[in-house]
Amino acid sequence: MKNIVITGGSGFIGSNLVRYMVNKYKNYNIINVDCLTYAGNLLNLVDMEDKTNYFFENIDIADFQSLKHVFEKYQIDGIIHLAAESHVDRSIQNPVKFVQTNVIGTFNLLELVREHHDNGFNCRFHHVSTDEVYGSLGNEGYFTETTRYSPNSPYSASKASSDHFVRAYVKTYGLNAVITNCSNNYGPYQFPEKLIPLTISNIISGKNISIYGDGLNIRDWLYVIDHCEAIDTVFHKSDKGETYNIGGHNEWTNIDIVNFICETMDDKLNLFPDRSSKNLIQFVNDRAGHDRRYAIDASKIQNELGWIPKWTFEDGIETTIDWYLSNNDWIKNITSSEYLQYNEKITKINWRS
């Protein structure tokens, strides 16, 4: 059995990846390392709790000694590092938290992997990053793996810093590390502060849907399961020191996304034209430092490793909407105190230690 750590495994992308890896690789022990912030929800992984190859460690990656205990408890063969503060608005309000988790936390992991490496163990370290490190594009062109870094928010600056540390540890210490920079993800289990789940949640509850600025900011959208498959591919097939951009080939403006969700939900909820959820849309002052456009050139991962996204945006959005409509209790729980109580209960379990 190989022991693979997934940091941030109780979050949105992390919980989808944990489920994907636990079910696909019966010869892997998957160790979920998560400190359970507001977006780290163990209700996301209820179906994993009885799996014999799933383990949970309630650890903050910014706590070096606690993290070291995980390395001592398990013989770690690989790490997929997803744990991060990721909401741009929160980074503007409280940037220090983003430095602690995204920079110091990544540094702590690299130091422990370096110690592992120096002791003769080959531990693969896969750092999952974002396309936001590249800054803002104009109306044409795409981010490639050689695009100059130009972060414009405390969040993207903290992720850029962590990328540089990973690259430096490969060059300086010879670590078996790789980096992936992905576009915006969407899908089941995403905390309703991001555009797509927030729009769906607000339509369900009849609340206003706020759009920053003119709503014409463009993002490339990637369905979360496509991202999980890309991570799996890079983790297992790429050479050390490589960087791959992961995108969905789905550029949409924010207002077009919201309108599409409204139209789809109006149809599913049998809303008449005069009751259309589009009536909930309101435009608000733009976010500080709001990047205009992101778009990924994912030809490198396609040409070298054979990965391509399988989900169209239309199919992915409909599947996502269906999931949220079928799991309205999940939304209610994570926006109340119930998930905090559940997290507290589960962290007291002796995880087969």
Residue type present at position 55: F
d(CA 259, CA 277) in angstroms, rounded, equals 9
CB distance 294 to 150 below 8 Å: no
For residue 186, the cross-strand partners are 223
132 among known catalytic residues: yes
Catalytic hit among 34, 57, 60, 131? 131
Query: Which residues is 29 bridged to in the sheet?
Result: 3
Distance CA 21, CA 114 (A): 25
CA distances from 46 to 56, 104, 159 (A): 12, 30, 30
Query: Per-residue DSSP letters for 134-157?
Result: G----SS--B-TTPPP---SHHHH
How many other C-beta atoms are found inside a 10 Å radius of the C-beta of residue 167? 16
Looking at the DSSP bridge assignments, the partners of residue 178 are 126
Among residues 134, 155, 169, 294, the one annotated as catalytic is: 155
Pick the catalytic residue from 85, 132, 242, 251.
132
Which residues are known catalytic residues? 131-132, 155
